[in-house]
A and B are shown apart, each in its own frame.
Chain A
Amino acid sequence: MIFRTPKQTGEWVNRDKKINFTFEGEAFSAFEGDTISSALWAAGQKVLGRSFKYHRARGVLSFANHDVNVLVTDGVDTNMRGDVVTVKEGMALFAVNTKGGVKKDKNSYIDSISPLLPVGFYYKAFHTPRRLFPLWENVIRNAAGLGVVNFNYPRILKRKTHSHCDVLVVGAGPTGLTAALTAAEAGLEVTIVDENRQLGGSLGYNRAADSKSVTQLDGLLSKVASLPNIKVIASAYAAGYYPDHLIPIVGESGINKVRAKAVIVASGAFEQPPVFRYNDLPGVMLGSAAQRLIYRYAVKPFNNGVVVTANDYGYRVALDLLQAGTKIAALVDMRSAGNANSAAELVKRGIKVYAGHCVYEALASSDKLGVRGAVICAYDDKQNVALTDNKFTLECDGISMSAGWAPAGALLYQAGTGMQFDYGVEQFVPSRLPNGMFAAGKVNGIFELEQRVRDGVRAAHDAIRHLGLQAPQNQAEKHVGASPSHPYPMVPHPKGKNFVDFDEDIQIKDFVNAAKEGFDNIELMKRFTTVGMGPSQGKHSNMNAIRILAKIRGLPVEKIGTTTSRPFFHPTPIGHLGGRGFHSHRLTSLHDWHQANGAVFTDIGAWKRAAYYPAAGQSKEDAIQTEALAVRKTAGIIDGSSFGKIEIHGPDAALFLERFFTGEYTDQKVGSCRYVMLLDDSGVIADDGIASRLADDLFYLSIGTSNAAAVYREMQRSQQIWQLNLGLVNVTGAFGAINIAGPAAREILSTLTDFDLSFESFPMSSVRESQVAGVEARMIRVAFVADNGYELHAPMAQIPHIWNALMQAGKKHDLRPFGSDTQRLLRLEMGHPMPGIDTDGLTNPFEIGAEWAIKMNKPYFIGQRSLVILAKRPLRKQLVPFVLADNFKGEMPMDCNLVVDGRNILGRVTSISYSKYIDRCIGFAYVSPDKKEVGSVFQIRTDSGSLVAATVVKSPFIKTLKGA
C-alpha cells in the first residue's frame, strides 16, 4: 500500500484488519473499511475503469459517488460503485465494459476515432440504406451498456418499512447536525440521514491541515448521541421527495419510508470539475476527492501534484495534500487576482503560486493511463480563454481540481422549490420553499463554516415555528467575500477532450455543435448531447453544461434555467423498491377440501376458485364434461362462496333496488327471487344477479364474483345520494354458498332438512329460510346451471359442515363436485349469457336481447335515459345462441373467433363449447341483426382460417336440443 499515509485522526479504516482481494486478476490487500477505489488507489492502481463511450482510462474523480468512473463487477453483482462500496475479503473484481481488461481495453480504439463520432452521431448515420440498419444496430447494441447482467442473481426482497417523525434532516454535515440538535433540543422528534458511513460531512475532511474541525465534529456527535429523540440513519440516502413529505431512505438493508412533518435539506453541494483537455486522466481528481482519500482512508492522492483552483478552496486542499506528504509542483489559480493571503502562506512553504493561470491541458503518460505533467499558461477569466504564448509544463503525477460547487438540490427541486441564481456565490439557491421544506448550508448558498452552523440553527428554528412551537426568527445568512464557485471554469482547447460529463464522455465542443444544430435550450441540449443522462444524473456536469450554454447564447445563467430533477438521488435497486411483494388473496372455507380433492384453481378477482377436479390423468375437457354430465344425470355440487352477497335492509329496500337495477321489485313477493341487471350511465351492462326477498324490508342480493366489491361500492354511493331509509350490509365474506343441482339434488338435500322441497311448496325462483344439516340456511331455487338446483347460503364457517353432510348424503347418487369452469358450460347449456364473458365494455341490454329485464316504465333507474336514446338507434350487433352442425368434426372454433362475411366482420364468438350431454357444439356469438332470427346461418372463422357454419337456435339449448 505504497500510497498509504501515516494514521490520520478520524480515519475510517481499521488498520488491524487486512483484507485480500483481486482486481482484474491481480492480488491486492486493503484495510477493513477501505472502499474498492481507496484500496486500489492506496496500492498505486490508478486505472479503475473505462468510460462509457470512448473507453478512456479513468481513475478517481469525485470519490463521492458523483461520477461513475469506477464501476466494477464481482462476478455476481454488476455496476458496483467502487468509490463507495467497501471492499470485502476474497472479492474478485473486474472493471465493467472493457474488452481485454481495464489496462488493455481493446475498445479504446474508439477514443482515437472519436472525430468520427460527433455529438448525436447516431442520429446522422446508419439508417441508409435501410436494409443495413439492423447490422449497424447490432454493432451499436453490443457496444452499449455497462455491466453484464447476471441471470442467476438471487431474488433479494429487501424490507420496506414506514416511519414517522417531526423533522427529517437530510445531510449530517455541520449544518445538518446543528439543525438536528436545535430541533431536538426543542423537544421535536428528529431523524437525520446521511449517505456516508460516518456523520460529519465536509467537517471530517475539509481541514486545511488543521484538526480543529475534527474536535468540533466530535463535539457535535457526542451531543447528538446524548439526545434520545434524534434518530440517526447513516449509510443511507434520501432517494427522492414525494408529496406530503414522504422521503424514502435507501440503505443496504432496505427502504425506510419516512413521513415527516417538516424537512430540512442540508445536503451540501457537489464539487464541480474545471474543464480542460485531458481533465479525465487517472490522477486528475477533484480537491474534495483528494481530501476524502487522505482523511477517510489515509491514502495519498499522488506524490507530486499540481493544484488547479478557481476559488479559495484549492488553497485548503493544497495544505491537506502537503499534510499527507504530497509534493506540490504548483498551485494554479484561474482567477486573475487569486487569493493573496492564502498564496503567501503557500509561498512561505516554497510552493509556486500562479494566479491568473490555468491548466491548459494535462499530459498523458506514454501508456495514456496516467498523468506525467500539466501544461500551464495564463488565463483570461473575463474572456475565458487560455493565453498560450508563454505556456510551460510542470511535471506531476496528479492534479487536484477546485472550481466550485453545484447545490445537491434534488429533493428541493422535486418538492417544487423555486430556485434563483445568486451571483454572490455563482450558484442556484432556493428562493421559494414549499410548505414545510427548509434548506440550510451549502445547498442554501452558505459556505463559511460558522455561517453554515448559524444557518442550521436558523432553519431548525423555522421548522420549529412551522410545527407550531415557539422559536426565534433568525436573520438569514448571506455569503460574504470571494465566490466559492467560478463563473466559467472552462479552458477551450483546439484538440478538445476537455470533458464536462464524464459518464457520457461529453466535451465542450459537443455543446457548441449541439447549439449550432439548434439544440440551444437546456432541455433539448440535454437530450441531444445526453449530458446528465448517465448514471450520475449530472451531479458533476449539469452546472457546467448550463454555464457553457449560457456562454453560447450570450445569456445570463438564470435565463438558461435548469433541467427538471427527478427521483432518484442515487440509482436505486429494483429489489429495494419492489421489496416484499404482497399478493393478497381470498379463500373460501372449503379451500382445503377442494385442494384435498384435486381441484385445479383459478384466480377470479382476489379469489382462488376451484375450476374443475380432474381425476388422475384426466384432461381438463374430460373433467369438465364428466362434472357437467353428473349435474345433468345425477347431481353436482359447487362452492359458490365467492359470489357477491349483499343485504338491503329497511322500508325503502325495494325502492332502492328499483332505482339501482333495471327491473321491478316493489311488487316482488316475499319468498320470491328476481333477476337484477345493473347498467352504467351510458346504458352499458355492468353486472347481473338475483335479488331474493326475505321480508318486506329485507332483500338478499347475490351477484357475480369479480364485480362484487365495485357493485357494493356503487350501491353505497347511490344510497349516500338518495338518502333512502335503509341499510346496506355486505355479507360476501360472512356467508358462504353452495349450489347443489341435478335430478338427484332434491332427494339428497331432503335428507338434511325437514323443509318440504317439493316444487309446490318451493317453486322455481323462490327463497326459503330453514335448517340444513342443523344449520340456519337460505335456500334459493334458481336455474343458473340447472332447473333442479338449490343454492344454499349459510355462515362461511358452517359451509364445510353442510358440504360434507351433502357429500355424505350424496354418495349413493354419485354426487360430484364441479368447478367454475364446468359452471360456465352448464350455464351455457341453460342459455344464460354472462356479463364480462358474453358482454364487453360497450354492450347494452338490447344487444343481448334482454329487453325483458328492462322496465322502462319506472320513473328512474341507472342508465334508463341512455336506453331511451339507444332504443332509437339501429341495433349494431345482436347476441345469438347457435349450434354447429350435428357431429361436427372440423377444427373447433374458440371464444373470440370472428363471425365474418367475406371482408366484413359481423361479430365474434363469445362462448363456445362442446356439450357432451347435448352432444352438440353450442355457443353464443354476436352477429349482424339481420342474422339474428332462429335458423339463420353465419360463418365463424377459426384460428387457422377455415370457415365453420353456425346456425341460430332458440335457447336454452338443453330445452331446444334435448327437450330437457
Chain B
Amino acid sequence: MPLRLLKFALSKEHPAPRFFKAHETPKKSYDVVIIGGGGHGLAAAYYLAKDHGITNVCVLEKGYIGGGNTGRNTTIVRSNYLTPEGVNFYDASVKIYEGLSEELDLNLFYSTRGHFTLAHTESAMRTMRWRAEVNKHVGVESRVVGPDEIAKACPQLDLSCSGQAPILGALFHAPGSVARHDGVAWGYARGADRLGAEIYQNTEVLGIDVKNGKVSGVKTNKGYIETKQVLSAVAGFTPRITEMVDLETPIVIHPLQACVTEPMKPFLDTILVSGSLHVYVSQSSRGELVMGSSLDPYEVHQTRSTLDFVEGLTSHMLDMFPFLSNIKVVRQWAGMADMTPDFAPIMGKTPIEGFYIDAGWGTWGFKATPISGKTMAQTIANDSAPDLIHSFRLSRFEDYELTGEKGAASVGH
C-alpha cells in the first residue's frame, strides 16, 4: 500500500480538503467567463491561470462539474486520426495526458492499453493504411496489422465475427488509452480552484451581451457578470449559447449512446473499435465492459436511451465475442454530441470580439480535453489562436476549407 494512504488510516478527521471551494454568488466582473464546467472549460481555466497567470476567471456550470459529455463518454484517448492537423493536435493531447495524473496529483488511471481499429472490408483496410501512413509521417505510432497480431493481443476475439464480417486486419495504435473521465474534470477543477479560478455549479447562462461587436457581459441565474472575454465550452449545448450572440455555425446535435456490463474479472486488455460493426469496447478497472456505438441518426437535444441502440450494439458484440451471451448489461446512457460537417472541432476566435468558441467535439471531445484547454487558454490570453488549431477555425466553412477528417469516414465502395 502506498504511504500516502496511511494518513487516512492514522488521522481521526478525514484529512482530504475540498476539491474546490463552494462559492455562493459570482462577483460583478471577471476578466474571463468560461461557460461550461466540463473537462474542456475547467482545463481552459486551469491553463489560463497556470500558463498565462490569468486568474480572475469564473467557470459557470449549469449542472454539476463533469456532468455533461465529460462524464458520459467511453474514456478512450487516441491520436490516430487521418489529417496531419488532426494527428498533431491529438498527439499533443496524448502527451499531456501521459503526465497529467502527476501534474494534477490525482490518479486518472491513465492506462495505455493499445487501440485496434478493426477492418472487415477492403475499403476499410484502405482507410486504415491511409491513417497509418499519415500517423507515421507525423511520428505517431500506428501501423496496419494482420489478424494474427490482433489474435495475439485479444485471443478471445472471434476473427470471423461469427462469419458475418471476417476481420481482414486492423489499424494498431500503441498509444491508445483509457482514463477516468470524472477524474479529469475533478482534477482540472481542483487545479484551477487552487490557482484562483472560481467554479460555480448550478449556474446557468441566460444571455450574453454584445455591444457593437464586442462581448460586454453575461446574464446568469445568479446575477449579471461584466466581462470582455467569454469562452463557450459547452459541447452539446453550443447551439443554445451561439444563438445568444447570433452566431451561425454548422453544429448539429445528435445523441451518442453507450452502455456498461456487470463487473467481470478483466479479460479484455486492449481497446477495440469496429467501424463496420459500429462497436467500440474496453474493459474498465472495475471489470465492466464499456461499450459505445455510432451516433443516433437524427437531431435530438436529449440524453434519452433507445432500445434499438443497445440491441444493435449487443448483436454486434456477440459477433465479436460469442461467449458473452449471458453477460449482463447493467446500464445504458447517452450524451449530446455536437457534430460538424467535417468531423473536426471548431476552435478559436469568432466574428464577435471577445467571444471564443470551443465546440464541434462530436464523439472525440474527451481525448482532446488537455490540449483544447491549453490552446483555448492561449487563444484567450493572446486574443489569437495558435497554429495548432488554425485548421479548426470557424471561418473554414465560409472558405470551403473543411478539414479532411471526413475523408476517411465517407470512403465508400
Interface residues of A (CB under 8 A from B): 52, 77-79, 97, 113, 115-118, 121-128, 130, 133, 136-137, 140-142, 144-157, 160, 240, 242-243, 246, 248, 257, 414, 509, 512-513, 516-521, 523-524, 527-528, 535, 537, 564, 566-568, 570-575, 577-579, 581, 583, 602-604, 682-683, 704-707, 834-837, 840-842, 866, 869-870, 873, 894-898, 900, 905, 908, 941, 943, 945
Residues of chain B within 8 A (CB-CB) of A842 are: 342, 402, 404, 406-407
Q: How far in angstroms is the closest Cβ of chain B from A251?
A: 14
Provide the bound-state CA to CA distance between A524 and B22, in Å.
Answer: 14
Provide the bound-state CA to CA distance between A581 and B325, in Å.
Answer: 13
Residues of chain B within 8 A (CB-CB) of A519 are: 19
Residues of chain B within 8 A (CB-CB) of A113 are: 1, 9
Provide the bound-state CA to CA distance between A900 and B183, in Å.
Answer: 41
Q: How far in angstroms is the closest Cβ of chain B from A149?
A: 5
Q: How far in angstroms is the closest Cβ of chain A from B45?
A: 16
Provide the bound-state CA to CA distance between A414 and B342, in Å.
Answer: 34
B310→A125 contact, CB < 8 A: no
Provide the bound-state CA to CA distance between A449 and B285, in Å.
Answer: 46
Q: How far in angstroms is the closest Cβ of chain B from A754?
A: 38
**Looking across the interface, which residue of chain B has its beta carbon closest to that of A150?**
B323
Known: A115-B9, A567-B305, A841-B406. A573 touches B19 (CB 8 A): no
B263→A52 contact, CB < 8 A: yes
Residue among B14, B106, B126, B287 making CB contact with A146, cutoff 8 Å:
B287
Q: How far in angstroms is the closest Cβ of chain A from B372?
A: 22
B285→A836 contact, CB < 8 A: no
Does residue B317 face the partner (Cβ distance < 8 Å to A)?
yes
B328→A242 contact, CB < 8 A: no
Against A, the Cβ 8 Å flags (1 = close, 0 = not) of B187-201 are 000000000000001
Does residue B297 face the partner (Cβ distance < 8 Å to A)?
no
B305→A242 contact, CB < 8 A: yes
A518→B325 contact, CB < 8 A: no
Residues of chain A within 8 A (CB-CB) of B121 are: 602-603
Known: A144-B266, A155-B318, A905-B84. A130 touches B323 (CB 8 A): no
B14→A834 contact, CB < 8 A: no
Residues of chain B within 8 A (CB-CB) of A141 are: 266, 285, 287
Residues of chain A within 8 A (CB-CB) of B326 are: 77-78, 153, 156, 573-575
A146→B264 contact, CB < 8 A: yes
Against A, the Cβ 8 Å flags (1 = close, 0 = not) of B401-413 are 0101011111111
Q: How far in angstroms is the closest Cβ of chain A from B103?
A: 10
Q: Which of B322-355 contact A (CB under 8 A)?
A: 322-333, 341-342
Does residue B224 face the partner (Cβ distance < 8 Å to A)?
no
Known: A116-B1, A145-B266. A581 touches B129 (CB 8 A): no
What 3 pairs between A and B have smallest CB-CB spacing?
Answer: A145-B287, A575-B325, A841-B410
**Looking across the interface, which residue of chain B has its beta carbon closest to that of A145?**
B287
Residues of chain B within 8 A (CB-CB) of A900 are: 137
**Looking across the interface, which residue of chain B has its beta carbon closest to that of A504?**
B286
Known: A836-B413, A896-B127. A152 touches B164 (CB 8 A): no
Residues of chain B within 8 A (CB-CB) of A602 are: 121-122
Q: How far in angstroms is the closest Cβ of chain A from B112?
A: 8
Provide the bound-state CA to CA distance between A519 and B14, in Å.
Answer: 14
Does residue B265 face the partner (Cβ distance < 8 Å to A)?
yes
A896→B107 contact, CB < 8 A: no
Residues of chain B within 8 A (CB-CB) of A149 are: 264-265, 267, 323-324, 327
B314→A578 contact, CB < 8 A: yes
B126→A896 contact, CB < 8 A: yes
A574→B261 contact, CB < 8 A: yes
B101→A127 contact, CB < 8 A: yes
Interface pairs (15), CB distance under 8 Å: A115-B8, A121-B8, A144-B263, A144-B286, A155-B325, A516-B17, A517-B16, A524-B64, A535-B328, A573-B325, A574-B328, A574-B329, A602-B121, A836-B411, A842-B407
Q: Could you tell me how many residues of chain B have their Cβ less than 8 Å away from some Cβ of chain A?
A: 103
Q: With A115-B9, A578-B311 given, can you name 12 additional A-B contacts, CB distance below 8 Å?
A: A116-B5, A141-B285, A144-B285, A518-B19, A535-B330, A566-B332, A566-B333, A604-B413, A704-B413, A707-B412, A842-B402, A941-B133
Residues of chain A within 8 A (CB-CB) of B9 are: 113, 115-116
Residue among A123, A133, A153 making CB contact with B325, cutoff 8 Å:
A153
Provide the bound-state CA to CA distance between A243 and B165, in Å.
Answer: 32
A116→B263 contact, CB < 8 A: no
**Looking across the interface, which residue of chain A has its beta carbon closest to that of B112?**
A134
Does residue B162 face the partner (Cβ distance < 8 Å to A)?
yes
Does residue B91 face the partner (Cβ distance < 8 Å to A)?
no
Against A, the Cβ 8 Å flags (1 = close, 0 = not) of B281-294 are 00011110000000
Does residue B146 face the partner (Cβ distance < 8 Å to A)?
no
A568→B102 contact, CB < 8 A: no
Provide the bound-state CA to CA distance between A520 and B201, in Å.
Answer: 11
Residues of chain B within 8 A (CB-CB) of A869 are: 400
A577→B263 contact, CB < 8 A: no
Q: Which of B172-219 contact A (CB under 8 A)?
A: 180, 182-183, 186, 201-202
**Looking across the interface, which residue of chain A has its beta carbon closest to that of B165?**
A603
Does residue B262 face the partner (Cβ distance < 8 Å to A)?
yes
A577→B130 contact, CB < 8 A: no
Known: A242-B306, A908-B130. A151 touches B407 (CB 8 A): no
Does residue B111 face the partner (Cβ distance < 8 Å to A)?
yes
Residues of chain A within 8 A (CB-CB) of B307 are: 240, 242, 246, 248, 257, 567
B16→A578 contact, CB < 8 A: no
Q: Which of B144-166 contact A (CB under 8 A)?
A: 144, 156, 162, 164-165
B412→A573 contact, CB < 8 A: no
Interface centre among B20, B129, B286 (most CB of A within 10 A): B286
Provide the bound-state CA to CA distance between A52 and B287, in Å.
Answer: 11
Against A, the Cβ 8 Å flags (1 = close, 0 = not) of B48-84 are 0000000000000001111100010000000000001
Residues of chain B within 8 A (CB-CB) of A527 are: 66, 71, 182
Residues of chain B within 8 A (CB-CB) of A130 are: 98-99, 101-102
Known: A571-B262, A573-B327. A124 touches B4 (CB 8 A): yes
A573→B328 contact, CB < 8 A: yes
Provide the bound-state CA to CA distance between A150 and B407, in Å.
Answer: 40
Residues of chain B within 8 A (CB-CB) of A579 are: 311, 315
Q: How far in angstroms is the closest Cβ of chain A from B137?
A: 6
Residue among A153, A154, A518, A571 making CB contact with B18, cutoff 8 Å:
A518
Provide the bound-state CA to CA distance between A573 and B326, in Å.
Answer: 5
A518→B20 contact, CB < 8 A: yes
Interface centre among B1, B20, B22, B66 (most CB of A within 10 A): B1
Q: How far in angstroms is the closest Cβ of chain A from B203?
A: 13
Provide the bound-state CA to CA distance between A151 and B286, in Å.
Answer: 19
B413→A117 contact, CB < 8 A: no
Provide the bound-state CA to CA distance between A585 and B144, in Å.
Answer: 29
Does residue B134 face the partner (Cβ distance < 8 Å to A)?
yes
Provide the bound-state CA to CA distance between A566 and B287, in Å.
Answer: 20
Provide the bound-state CA to CA distance between A586 and B2, in Å.
Answer: 61
Does residue B358 face the partner (Cβ distance < 8 Å to A)?
no
Residues of chain A within 8 A (CB-CB) of B409 are: 841
Provide the bound-state CA to CA distance between A242 and B306, in Å.
Answer: 6
Provide the bound-state CA to CA distance between A463 and B267, in Å.
Answer: 49
B129→A516 contact, CB < 8 A: no
Provide the bound-state CA to CA distance between A90 and B264, in Å.
Answer: 25
Residues of chain A within 8 A (CB-CB) of B404 are: 840, 842
Residues of chain A within 8 A (CB-CB) of B400 are: 682-683, 866, 869-870, 873
B102→A571 contact, CB < 8 A: no
Residues of chain B within 8 A (CB-CB) of A116 are: 1, 5-6, 8-9
Does residue B105 face the partner (Cβ distance < 8 Å to A)?
yes
Q: Which of B243-296 contact A (CB under 8 A)?
A: 261-267, 284-287
Q: How far in angstroms is the closest Cβ of chain A from B68?
A: 11
B267→A79 contact, CB < 8 A: no
Residues of chain A within 8 A (CB-CB) of B305 are: 240, 242, 414, 566-567
Known: A153-B323, A517-B16. A160 touches B311 (CB 8 A): yes
Q: How far in angstroms is the closest Cβ of chain B from A493?
A: 15
**Looking across the interface, which residue of chain B has its beta carbon closest to that of A517?**
B16
Known: A117-B5, A123-B183, A535-B262. A566 touches B331 (CB 8 A): yes
